[in-house]
Amino acid sequence: MKKHLFLLLLTFTVLFCAQAQSLGAGVSIDAQGSLKINAPLYILDKNPQKPGIKRAPTSLNLPVVAGFHIGDDFGQLEVTGGIVKGRISLIIKKPDEVFLVTAASLLNIPSVRFTSGADVKVGDMSFYADDSEYNYRIMLFSNFHVEGPLPTYDYEQYDINGVLYKYIYSLGEVIISGNVDKNYGVKETSYRKFDIRLKNGWNVTKYNPDKPDDTLTSSLPPSNAVWVLFEI
């Protein structure tokens, strides 16, 4: 009997582990298709001599909203959790189709440029925190550097530059690869490069503005990627 119980527990553990999928940076997908984030949070270190980031204090607790921008509207998703004791701790339910737009519309690229999936519904998710006085954006960066305070502003303005990762939900397969001229037909030398391969469910894309051309690719974040909270 004990042997059968052990095998049953082992089978359950294997099935549970198989159902959880990691997307890096403390992000995983549970069996219901919800996105789970449990990771350290960082804030700006506004040191005029050497600006950077530092771990958020354990006293920091803020509600978080997540959703998709659709024109001037913001389709808010069902979120459990928030910023808790200086960590980002969230469960985000998978979105309904009403929150999504076609891949061609989201990426602003003609359908003929896609290998497949131009009409597949997708959404590019954003995170925000609110303390009733300021609005904050939460973004995932790697290989970043902080600049500031910038002298062109009347208040302290700091910029974070680096490789940016975003989480995209897709209702099907989307494939687009190659260079697309930014004006879509107008002759110019500036291009945006794509290597996007989305599957059904949650995906990760990487945007690297430091490349000679704007580059948007499907890529999991590296181990040194961090979640950063900053004012907008």
Q: What is the mean pLDDT of residues 16-31?
A: 80
pTM of the complete model: 0.83
pLDDT of residue 45: 87
Of the candidates 178, 177, 141, which has an alpha carbon nearest to the alpha carbon of residue 161? 141
Distance, CA of 161 to CA of 53 (rounded, Å): 12
Report whether 109 contacts 158 (CB < 8 A): no
pLDDT in tens, 79-138: 999 999 999 999 999 999 998 999 999 988 888 889 999 999 999 999 999 876 677 899
Q: Check residues 147 and 27 and name the one with the higher pLDDT.
A: 27
For residue 16, pLDDT beyond 70:
no
Report whether 200 contacts 229 (CB < 8 A): no
pLDDT of residue 19: 52
146: Cβ contacts below 8 Å, ≥ 6 apart? 44, 45, 51, 52, 53, 158, 159, 160, 161
pLDDT in tens, 200-223: 999 999 988 766 567 889 999 999
pLDDT in tens, 146-200: 887 777 656 667 778 889 999 999 999 999 988 876 554 544 445 578 899 999 9
